[in-house]
Structure 1
Amino acid sequence: MMERRKFLTGAALGAGATALATPALAQGGKTLTIVSTWPRDFPGLGISAQRLADRIAQLSDGHFKVEYFAAGERVGAFDSFDEVASGNSQAYIAAEYYWAGKHPAFNYFTSVPFGMSNPEWNAWIKFGGGQELWDEVSDQFGLKAFTCGATGTQAGGWFNKEIESADDLKGLKMRIPGLGGQVLSKLGASTVSLPGSQIYENLVSGSIDATEWVGPYNDYFMKFYEAAKYYYTAGMHEPGGGLSFGMNKSWYEGLSDWEKAVIEAACMEENAAAYEENIAKNGEYLAKLVDEQGVQVRAFNDDVWDSFGEAAEEVFSEVRDHSELAARVNDSFQSKLREMGSMMNQFEIGYVNQRNRVLGLS
């Protein structure tokens, strides 16, 4: 056993010594101030962000002196972008589509209508050229970002009436950000983008008629069921909600290779953990919504889905017209989606459909 330990220690030093400084060589420590778009201690998104902040400190053995601020504690949720781009804080944890007003290509680094599931999105980011395109977009604003979380396919949302056709969306006031919001707008809805902390009060007061948030696990604690009883399953707007750890690029480039590796490793770890947590808990909390709160679960019919699809094509065309970079991001995303989607349909989805049929799962 002692000989094996000596061998493994020597092999590790030999493999890594030329590439990364070890913790012992990274002297002095650095302050890392993180601002978040999520409420403190909020199940799902908020806890994921806090877990990531803690993990960076832990993996660095205290080298990074991490200061974490939830939404509203240092800056407002939607002010996080400017806070980090300016260098006032070093990093944010957010959903990139909140920054669509800065550049529409940011949408693709969270989720877009009829887009990729989380496994597909991660594959595009890590192995399909997505990270490089993300870097191009972020670089225009002095930022560098990694994926740091995922929600899985999100719910279609909470409504105070049933949605049986596209006509039912006309005049509807709904909280829904990103390109999904633009799709609803084309179908006659009036859409707004609100931070999580403001959604409940607007829904209860009647300022909005509907909202989407995440899925059963996160939504349960938001208590939307007190104002809207119709809960729609799988939505077109966020089939795979990816979350981001965005850093001030000048600060990031000043880090050692070891410091960069610590941050990236923590982000990759939390990216997997957040997704797995949602998958593990969504079924449990969907049952709670139905059994404890009397929520009525619905699914959009094919006619509504078709209307979504037609509007989405118009939205994508407008994104491509924005700029050469926006067109390249869209085209890369759509090309990889079709390539992976065909494979997923034959293998992953094909298996799940047959498994559920055999086991009698609905």
Structure 2
Amino acid sequence: MTKSNNVNRRALLRGAGVAALAAPALVGKGIAQGKVTWRVQSHWPKASGSFDDSLGVLATELEARTEGAFKLELFGAGEFAKGPDIYNLIRKGVVPMGTISPSYILDKAQAASFLMGIPGTFRENWEPQHAAKNLGIEDMVNEELIPDGVRMMSEKAYPTELVTSKKIETAEDFAGIKLRSSGTLLDYLAAAGAAPQYIPGSELYQSLSSGVVDGAHWGAAIGAKSMSLWEVCKYHYKPALGFTIDAFIVNEDQLQGLDDDLKTAILDLMEIRFFRRSAEYMHKEAIALTAGVNENGVEVMQFPQEVLDMFASASTNILEEEKAKGEIAARAHAAYTGLMSDLGYV
């Protein structure tokens, strides 16, 4: 049943995308019957760049596309729930829509880690986009989420980079450094000798400024700038730990309860926004990092080779551990490593 829903969705979106280019506003029975407002619980604090640039833009475009018939009321991290608690909020229908990291639902879907992004694998931002949408990783996640009452739609792909208050020049410098992390990156950083822990975004700046942790990743340059992490952490490390994906989640019953034109409008728009936002994000990454260097005195650093070697070993182990979670995970692993092989990475 899930596979059929996903196929139908893609067919629906292909048709809707053509119509949307011709006529941004949709006129139909949903609009005639009145307005719909969905509350949206974000995992991004309102200070985060993605709250406005991702969620804010989606809300503005959805309202315009439906001539005001479909509005989104946006809530920052913690207003109803935060972090991993957002999933259950949406599943229960308390709020019909939210944003999360796939790292929050590793216990809900075997392929969630692959959608989030396995660290140390992909090297360019088009690669996780291709894996999510064209190689079926997003659909594999939804094979388990939709029966649970939730649908996930990828929001953007972007790099994850580490910022620290301490300079890392050797493996010894990295050993035991306290870092905020999430998902499989917790294991990845720990395998290289760090001491990672999960901290919600709403508590991150305070944790860094008070010395609870010595560094963090919140996206890359855009995240560090918008969350003021560079005020405390002056060292910004390359290469990226990996590429990851943020996601929209919606309550499946409430989605299916929409009139067809409104359902088409939001699904179509989220699909289009994924590719547009991913490309836009990389442009803004370059701008943000240049600003960090010029305005905040940030130093762009390279990880020592001995740390990179430990990262490579950790990545191989994580891929195998994720593959072992079950049949869906094995299919996701095959898609992932098949692309890496085609690209000459393995």
Which segments of 5 or more consecutive residues in structure 1 lack a partner in the other structure? 1-11, 17-21, 346-362
Partner of 1:3: none
**Distance apart, 1:322 and its partner CA:** 2.4
Query: Which of 87, 91, 95 is the equivalent residue of 2:93?
Result: 87
Matches within 5 A, 1:128-277: 128-151=135-158, 153-155=159-161, 157-236=162-241, 238-239=242-243, 241-277=244-280
Identity %: 25
Amino acid of the structure 1 residue aligned with 2:100: A
Rg: which structure is higher?
A: 1
How far, CA to CA, are the matches of 1:42 and 1:210 in structure 2? 17
> For structure 1, which segment, 200-209 or 217-226, has the greater mean C-alpha deviation from structure 2 after superposition?
217-226
Whether 2:317 is the aligned partner of 1:282: answer: no
TM-score of the superposition, structure 2-length normalised? Answer: 0.84
User: Contact 2:152–2:248 at 8 Å: present in 1 too?
Assistant: yes
Is the partner of 2:250 in helix, strand or coil? Answer: strand
Aligned AA (1:144): R
Encode CA deviations 1:188-219: one digit per residue, 9 max, x unaligned: 32211222221111011111111111222331
- How far apart, CA to CA, are the structure 1 residues paired with 2:157 and 2:43? 15
**SS of residue matched to 2:193:** coil
Displacement of 1:177 in angstroms is: 1.0
**Would the aligned equivalents of 2:129 and 2:157 in 1 still touch at CA under 8 Å?**
no
Greater Cα shift, 66-75 or 174-183: 66-75
Paired with 2:42 and 2:321, the residues of 1 have a C-alpha distance of 30
1:24 aligns with 2:31: no
Q: 1:167 to 1:272 in 2, by over 3 A?
A: same
After superposing on structure 2, the runs of 4+ consecutive aligned residues of structure 1 that deviate more than 4 Å are: none
Contact 1:39 1:46 in 2 (8 A): no
The answer as to 2:106 corresponding to 1:100 is: yes
CA RMSD of aligned residues (A): 2.5
Paired letter, 1:139? I
Aligned residues: 321
Alpha-carbon contact 1:233-1:297 (below 8 Å) kept: yes
Contact kept? 1:35, 1:91, Cα under 8 Å = yes
Check conservation: 1:105, 1:137, Cα contact below 8 A: no
Tell whether the 8 Å contact from 1:138 to 1:145 is kept in structure 2 after alignment: yes
User: For 2:325 and 2:180, how far apart are their aligned partners in 1?
Assistant: 24
TM-score norm. by structure 1 comes to 0.80
Q: Which structure 2 residue ranges, 5 or more long, are not aligned?
A: 1-14, 20-25
C-alpha displacement of 1:338:
2.6
Cα distance per residue 1:116-141 (max 9 Å; x no partner): 33312222222222232122132353
Aligned to 1:331, the other structure's residue is in SS state: helix
Residue 111 of structure 2 aligns to a residue whose secondary structure is helix
Partners in 1 of 2:46 and 2:114 — Cα distance? 26
Contact 1:179 1:315 in 2 (8 A): yes
Deviations 1:95-123 (A, max 9, x none): 21222244453122222212333312222
Q: What residue identity is the alignment partner of 1:55?
A: E
Query: Alpha carbons of 1:108 and 1:264: their partners in 2 closer, same or farther (altered >3 Å)?
Result: same
CA separation of 1:65/1:43 partners in 2, compared to 1, >3 Å: closer, same or farther? closer
CA distance in structure 2 between the aligned counterparts of 1:56 and 1:31, rounded to whole angstroms: 11
Alignment correspondent of 2:76: 70
CA distance in 2, matches of 1:113, 1:219: 19
Which residue type is aligned with residue 267 of structure 2? E
Q: Deviations over 1:42-62 (max 9, x none)?
A: 324543112112222221222
Superimposed CA distance per residue, residues 287-306 of structure 1 (whole angstroms, 9 cap, x where no aligned partner): 22222222221011333222
